[in-house]
């Protein structure tokens, strides 16, 4: 009874706490719903903003693609022309000072390029000993010249050229009409000229497509860079919007979680109230049984007291009869003394009285001896049955505690299952949102990874709780079986004790044929362990049935979860 009341009080406290938490959750959900409404508006705004940016990206991508193609065509034309040039850039051409015609540089040949270029002209001496190269190098660097290309109009196109004029003692760079020459005389002991062009040049004019190649290339490159930078900025703006959308999606997630938590708590409250109601019904049943037992004990105690009083009255009557007989014997003895023992009738009467007294004392002695023996048997059996009842009571309390703990753990197990389903749903939702974004979002992936780790921990705790429940259910079944065995033993002992009492009462009745002897035998038989059958059939039977129900409920849980 005390354990059941503790459970009921505990249930009431838990329900009160859960109801308080439920109200708090409802308030939080209302706030979250208001926040979610604003978040949805922001989300819609961001989606519209993303659509606008995407349209701008498409619009910018078209001129970017066109410019890239134009630049590709332009550079391809330039590369093809450059590959066919007779003189490559930055390669030294050697010209001997006393030879006009050479394979390295053609005399009075115009060399063209679509871009401005320079020619590095360096005088060269041959060294006669090991000391001259360093001195020659200083002289060469001091006399190095840079000749700039000259512009020329060809069919309305602007190109750049240089025209060397090789002479015996000098080298000139002239215009097509031989005007305006740049003259460079050889130095004493000079053997060669080194000519190095900064760009590749050709003996034929470049294609018209390369007209103003450098300026056009720079302009188109600048235009492409501007568009590319704009696209980069727009892409960054798009990424920021997508990140904000991801944050908005993530921030909306707790709303569903709170609602699920609220639903779970309301379901938990309902379950606890049902269980509390069952406990109250069980408590009422125990109280009813206790009241019945108290009434039975009271009635039996009264009956036993009345029977004992009657027995005492009979014993007192027997003693009174005995005293009366002894008095009568004394009177007869006195009369016989007076008559000198001559009255035969008085002598016979005296003998009869003495025989009656002897028989009555013998029966009283037997009754008292049997009563003492029976009381010893009663005490011994009372101790055995009380000890067995104590064992059963302790076993019953243990089963009550274990059953309550199992039911609490089963509720935890169920909540773990719900939590696992929630986590799986949240992970699935976030993975779907991640896929719809069209790009990998690190924050979202981190949130998914964190939820997966939490799911792994929940599944591990779920498995641990299952193993614990399996062990508890096994112990509950064992304790339940032990309780059933002890209850059966109590029934057997009670049954044997009742029969033993009946046999003892029969012996007493056989020995004592008086009314008082019959009352003693009957009262002793009815006073042994009142209401034991009621206890076994009621409270203990309910505990055994309840424990079996919990074990069956766990089997249903495991079947439902597919374990």
Looking at residue 514, which CATH number applies to its domain? 1.10.287
**For the chain, how are helix, strand and coil distributed in percent, rounded to 5?**
75, 10, 15
- Out of 186, 201, 216, pick the residue that ends a domain: 201
Residue 229, in any domain of the structure: no
Whole-number Å distance between alpha carbons of 502 and 495: 11
Nearest-angstrom CA–CA distance, 216 and 195? 29
Q: How far apart are the first and last CA of the chain?
A: 36
Cβ 213 vs Cβ 73: under 8 Å: no
Pair 25, 258: CB distance under 8 Å: yes
pLDDT over 90 at 111, yes or no: yes
In angstroms, how far is CA 162 from the centroid of its own chain?
81
Contact 201, 162 (CB under 8 A): yes
Report d(CA 445, CA 203) in Å as an integer. 62
* Stronger pLDDT, 511 or 234, i.e. the higher one: 234
Mean pLDDT of the 82-105 span = 80
Question: Which residues, 6+ apart, have CB-to-CB distance to 395 below 8 Å?
Answer: 479, 482, 483, 486
* H-assigned helices in 84-161: 132-142
Q: Is the model's pLDDT at 528 over the cut of 50?
A: no
Name the domain boundary from 201, 236, 270: 201
Note whether residue 120 is domain-resident: yes
Alpha-carbon gap, residue 474 to 70, rounded angstroms:
82
- Which carries the bigger pLDDT value, residue 69 or residue 258? 69
User: Which residue, 201, 222, 240, sits at the end of a domain?
Assistant: 201
Find, among 17, 196, 4, the residue nearest to 92 by Cα. 196
Asked if 189 and 309 sit in the same domain, the reply is: no
Residue 437 has pLDDT above 80, yes or no: no
State the pLDDT at residue 147: 93
A 10 A CB-CB count for 183 gives 11
> What per-residue confidence (pLDDT) applies to 515?
38
Query: Token pair 């000098």 is at which residue?
Result: 170
C-alpha 421/C-alpha 429 separation (Å) is 12
Lowest-confidence region among 143-152, 168-177, 294-303, 335-344: 294-303
Tell whether 159 is covered by a domain: yes
pLDDT at residue 160, as a whole number: 93
Contact 486, 388 (CB under 8 A): yes
Range 227-254 average pLDDT: 79
Residue 516, pLDDT > 70, answer no
**Where in the sequence is the domain holding 308, given as residue range(s)?**
287-313+358-561
Q: Which residue has the higher pLDDT, 132 or 52?
A: 52
Tell whether 11 is covered by a domain.
no
Residue 111 lies in a domain: yes
Number of domains in the chain: 2
H/E element holding 551? helix 541-561
CB contact at 8 A, 93 and 183: no
* Torsion angles phi and psi, residue 183, rounded to 5: -110, 135
């Amino acid at each position: 009874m005390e354990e059941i009341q503790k459970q009921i009080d505990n249930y009431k406290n838990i329900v009160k706490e859960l109801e308080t938490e439920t109200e708090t959750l409802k308030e939080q959900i209302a706030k979250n719903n208001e926040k979610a409404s604003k978040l949805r508006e922001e989300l819609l705004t961001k989606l519209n903003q993303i659509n606008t940016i995407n349209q701008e990206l498409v619009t910018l991508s078209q001129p970017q693609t066109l410019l890239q193609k134009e630049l590709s065509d332009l550079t391809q034309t330039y590369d093809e022309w450059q590959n066919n040039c007779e003189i490559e850039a930055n390669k030294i051409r050697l010209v001997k000072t006393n030879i006009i015609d050479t394979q390295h540089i053609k005399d009075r040949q115009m060399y063209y390029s679509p871009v401005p270029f320079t020619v590095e002209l360096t005088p060269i001496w041959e060294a006669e000993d090991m000391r001259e190269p360093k001195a020659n190098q200083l002289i060469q660097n001091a006399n190095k010249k840079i000749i700039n290309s000259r512009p020329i109009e060809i069919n309305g196109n602007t190109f750049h050229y240089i025209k060397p004029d090789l002479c015996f003692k000098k080298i000139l760079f002239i215009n097509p009409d031989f005007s305006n020459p740049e003259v460079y005389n050889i130095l004493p002991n000079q053997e060669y000229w080194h000519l190095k062009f900064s760009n590749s040049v050709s003996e034929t004019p470049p294609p018209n497509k390369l007209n103003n190649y450098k300026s056009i290339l720079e302009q188109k490159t600048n235009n492409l860079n501007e568009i590319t930078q704009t696209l980069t900025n727009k892409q960054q703006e798009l990424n920021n919007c997508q990140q904000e959308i991801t944050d908005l999606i993530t921030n909306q997630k707790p709303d569903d979680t709170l609602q699920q938590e609220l639903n779970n708590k309301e379901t938990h409250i309902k379950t606890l109230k049902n269980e509390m109601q069952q406990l109250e019904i069980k408590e009422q049943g125990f109280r009813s049984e206790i009241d019945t037992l108290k009434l039975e004990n009271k009635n039996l105690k009264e009956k036993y007291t009345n029977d004992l009083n009657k027995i005492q009255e009979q014993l007192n009557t027997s003693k009174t009869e005995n005293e009366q007989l002894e008095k009568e014997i004394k009177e007869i003895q006195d009369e016989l003394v007076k008559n000198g023992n001559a009255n035969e009738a008085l002598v016979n009467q005296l003998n009869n009285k003495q025989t009656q007294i002897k028989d009555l004392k013998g029966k009283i002695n037997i009754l008292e001896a049997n009563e003492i023996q029976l009381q010893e048997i009663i005490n011994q059996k009372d101790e055995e049955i009380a000890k067995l009842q104590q064992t059963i009571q302790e076993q019953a309390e243990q089963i009550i505690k274990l059953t309550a703990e199992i039911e609490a753990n089963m509720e935890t197990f169920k909540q773990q299952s719900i939590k696992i389903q929630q986590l799986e749903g949240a992970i699935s939702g976030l993975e779907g949102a991640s896929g719809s974004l069209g790009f990998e979002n690190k924050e979202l992936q981190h949130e998914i990874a964190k939820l997966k780790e939490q799911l792994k921990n929940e599944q591990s705790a779920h498995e641990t709780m299952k193993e614990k429940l399996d062990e508890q259910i096994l112990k509950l079944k064992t304790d339940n079986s032990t309780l059933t065995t002890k209850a059966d033993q109590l029934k057997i002992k009670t049954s044997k004790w009742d029969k033993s009492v009946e046999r003892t009462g029969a012996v007493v009745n056989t020995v004592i044929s008086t009314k008082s002897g019959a009352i003693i035998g009957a009262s002793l038989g009815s006073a042994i362990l009142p209401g034991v059958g009621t206890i076994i059939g009621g409270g203990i039977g309910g505990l055994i049935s309840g424990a079996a129900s919990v074990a069956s409920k766990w089997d249903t849980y495991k079947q439902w979860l597919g374990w």
